[in-house]
Structure 1
Amino acid sequence: TDSVLHLAFQEFLRSEYSEENILFWLACEDYKKIKNTSEMIITANRIYSEFVQVEAPRQINIDCGTRANITKNISEPNLNSFDTAQKLIFSLMARDCYPRFLKSEIYQSILRKWFDVK
């Protein structure tokens, strides 16, 4: 059931043109599990170029101070490089996107399937 809700939330974000938020958050979760330094550097740079840098293809909505701090430290990334940005994006989703998701037709149809089955 968690994966169904996860996919539904991702689909909802896609419909609102804000799918980059969940994709960034998930990329950060995977990033924090990396044990190999060279893999960490490659992945940090991929996350940075895909989500963080100005004009990134899936640029996330974070404040310029957080973006500047990541940019300054991207040449020497560590497992906490994206923590501040990840917390900001989580809080944005929790405050803004998730309440709308709970009212959405996508979510309501899942509830109907789960609870109206006779």
Structure 2
Amino acid sequence: MNFNSQERAVPGTSNGLAQSRARGLSELFALRQRRNRKNSGPSLINAVTKKVNKIRSKRKQMAIRPELNLHELLTNKDLVCEFRTFLCSVFSVENLDFWNDRETHKGTKSSKQRKIATMIHQNHLASYSHKEVNLDADTRRSTLKSLENPDQSTFDEAQDHIFRLMRGDTFRRLMKSYEH
């Protein structure tokens, strides 16, 4: 199996990381083919394991740095992908989904804002929605009130609240997980 890094893009990542991943995979498969020719079973497993660990180590060093802040993370597609993986593991991905939907809402034309605002409400703010975010009662009430006439600032207060939650909890836990 041959992977060409220019033909193959990983969804949700920039080409640089996708290319380095593709190169790493093609090196891994080339190593496997060389080892298979020599029929050395256990050493192949050890070599592949070492290569995978080396790729993971490089990926961690490249992406998450101690001085990183949440604003920087949210503007970098590769880092958002790492953060999303972490949020899935701690069952908090709805916060990032809300953040991304809100950013989409900010950039839309006024003619489509009502439709996107309704979608955000149904997905994230409605009681028992499948991606309901944890908002305090005052924030939820004011956001629902502003949904009567949605505009660019409809979800500002809710987005600020979710940002503070992510910064104080899940982002901090992500950073601690990379320290160890």
Q: How does 1:1-118 map to 2 (within 5 A)?
A: 2-37=76-111, 39-104=112-177, 107=178
- Listed as ranges, the gaps of 5+ residues in structure 2 are 1-62, 64-75
Q: Output the CA distance in 2 between the equivalents of 1:23 and 1:69.
A: 21
Q: Answer 1 or 2: higher relative contact order, Cα 8 Å, separation at least 6.
A: 1
1:103 match: secondary structure? helix
CA-based RMSD: 1.6
TM-score (norm 1): 0.82
Q: Output the CA distance in 1 between the equivalents of 2:160 and 2:102.
A: 10
Encode CA deviations 1:32-90: one digit per residue, 9 max, x unaligned: 011232x1100000001100122111110111111112222313111100000000101
- Listed as ranges, the gaps of 5+ residues in structure 1 are 110-118
How many residues in Structure 1 have an aligned counterpart in Structure 2? 106
Letter in 2 for 1:26: N
Larger Rg: 2
Q: Output the CA distance in 2 between the equivalents of 1:75 and 1:83.
A: 15
TM-score (norm 2): 0.55
1:26 match: secondary structure? helix
